[in-house]
Amino acid sequence: MDSRPRLGHSAPMPHDHSDHDHPHALLPPEPALRVKALETLLTRKGLIDPAALDEIIDTYENRIGPRNGAEVVARAWSDPDFRAALLKDATAVVAEMGFFGRQGEHVVAVENTDAMHNIVVCTLCSCYPWPLLGIPPGWYKSDAYRARVVREPRKVLAEFGVELSAETAVRVWDSTAEVRYLVIPQRPAGSEGLDVAALADLVTRDSMIGTGLAKAP
Amino acid sequence: MTRVHDMGGRFGDGAVTPEAEDVVFHADWHPRALALTLATGALGKWNIDVSRHTRECLGPADYARFSYYEKWIAGVADMLVARGVVSREELAGTADPTPSPLTEKTLKAPQVAGVLARGGPADRTSNIAAIFAPGDAVVTRKQPENTIVPGGHTRLPAYAAGARGRVLRLHGTHVLPDSNAHDLGEAPEPLYAVAFPASELWAHPEHPRDEVVLDLWQSYLEIP
């Protein structure tokens, strides 16, 4: 079947309205009540199982978070073969560790070196590797981060207390597709001899986004 | 021209405020809004590109004043009405809710783990061959606009339009959001990571060797 887009008048136009005409304006003005109203309506229509909502919330509040990514990074620091495999095909490697699914369907790992520091953003929305890092922090979704980090990454890094050497180039990854990026921070000095669990404790969420460095032991 | 969400490179925003790692949500209704969005997505009445485009179609004033999850909730409400899942009257509370014919699709608690684990992979087979290889020079198209639908969804940010870069890697062939967001088919095509020197994008780059990398579909790219 021809999956190419139809052209011309058959292509649906986007529907632009004044703010007032959007259906969402029919909901109560207060955000908490807006959510409540929608949940109540959809539950009464049989389209929402409130227990399913609880299950989703429990998943992202308690089960999936940045400790997953930290485990991946700690293994990459400890095992050169694992690191090479991760850099070659992160999707397969992290899936084998049990990290896959929504917002982590396609994963690419990028490594920080003395010559290159990587930072991840999504300027158009808030794309983020959920199975590895959980729900993105507020600042990752903020206008300030989205607007500024592509243009002045070093100023943004300074706001996180990170200063890079002039020898280090910055590469900012704008997640414009369904590929999700994981930064492998540099292994901190003095961490020789630590096991994978102790190394994982040094890996911060921000270090895997690129706005931070791994902690010193 | 572009829409309000396309803010990469914009001047005027303040400092970025770091936050502790154990903060996941900032208000009780935030996780509810997230879960409601995922659960209604499971009804199968829209795809991720439709849902992104709906949020992008919020008026600039709403987009700017809404917090993150308010945008999500507004998007869900707008899609539910646009797709005929709920009526405007039901949403406004001026009519009693009628039972939905879609209830077979309702996401149940035991299905949640499976649905989240499956996710929504975007790679597809395609009969469009990759014409670029890593190392090749490319230039993005001059207008950061959807070429099929006026004012439609696209993932080429304005700041990277008409810019010369080089291909870093081929990701395979992926669903084209410009088509999928408008129910025009998935139209998969080659997707590349393309690196641009900061000096190609900005008048005052911070460092001569800094770069920005974007994931861009083949139809966004031209031979320089």
A78 assigned to active site: no
* Prediction pTM value: 0.95
Across chain B, what does the average pLDDT equal?
97
- How far is the CA of A86 from the CAs of A73, A100, A133, B25, in angstroms? 10, 14, 16, 30
Q: Is A99 helix (H, G, I), strand (E, B) or coil?
A: coil
Positions of CATH 3.90.330.10 in chain A? 68-209
Q: Is B101 on the interface with A (CB under 8 A)?
A: no
Residue among B123, B151, B175 whose CB faces A16 most closely: B151
pLDDT digits (tens, 9 = 90+) for B112-134: 999 999 999 999 999 999 999 99
Distance CA A132, CA A134 (A): 6
Query: What pLDDT is stored for residue A8 in this prediction?
Result: 38
- Looking at domain A68-209, its CATH architecture is Alpha-Beta Complex (3.90)
Residue B138 β-bridge partners: B165
Residue B35 forms contact with A (CB below 8 Å): yes
- B57 CB neighbours in chain A (<8 A) are 14-16
Residue with tokens 């025009």: B184
Q: ∠ CA(A101), CA(B31), CA(A47), 5° rounding?
A: 75
Annotated catalytic, A125? yes
> Do A102 and B120 count as a contact with CB atoms less than 8 A apart?
yes
The domain locations on chain B are 29-118, 137-222
How much is the average pLDDT of B21-27?
92
pLDDT computed for residue B196 by the predictor: 98
Residues 167-186 of A with CB under 8 A from B: 169-179
The alpha carbon of residue A79 is apart from the nearest alpha carbon of chain B, in Å, by: 25
Residue in B with minimal Cα distance to A104: B119
The answer to whether the CB atoms of A11 and B184 lie below 8 A apart is yes
Instruction: Write out pLDDT tens, residues B41-85.
Output: 999 999 999 999 999 999 999 999 999 999 999 999 999 999 999
pLDDT of A3: 43
**Mind listing the pLDDT tens digit of every residue in chain A (217 residues)?**
344 444 433 444 456 766 668 999 999 999 999 999 999 999 999 999 999 999 999 999 999 999 999 999 999 999 999 999 999 999 999 999 999 999 999 999 999 999 999 999 999 999 999 999 999 999 999 999 999 999 999 999 999 999 999 999 999 999 999 999 999 999 999 999 999 999 999 999 999 999 999 999 9
Q: What counts of helices (H) and strands (E) characterise chain B?
A: 8, 5
Which residue has 């299905």 as its token pair? Answer: B111
**Domain B137-222 in CATH 1.10.10.10:** no
Pick the residue of A1, A2, A3, A159 with the most B CBs within 10 A to test the interface with B by mutation: A3
Within 8 A by CB and 6+ apart from A40, the residues are none
Tell me the sheet residues that pair with A179. A106
B5, B29, B59 ranked by CB distance to A125: nearest: B5
pLDDT at B194 over 80: yes
Q: Which H or E run contains A211? A: none
Q: Which pLDDT score is estimated for A5?
A: 42
Question: What pLDDT band is residue B1 in, cutting at 50, 70 and 90?
Answer: low
Query: With a CB-CB cutoff of 8 Å, which residues 98-127 of chain A face chain B?
Result: 100-106, 108, 121, 123-126
CA distance A75 to A67: 12
Q: With an 8 Å Cβ cutoff, are A5 and B106 in contact?
A: no
Class of the CATH domain delimited by B29-118: mainly alpha
pLDDT(B174) > 60: yes
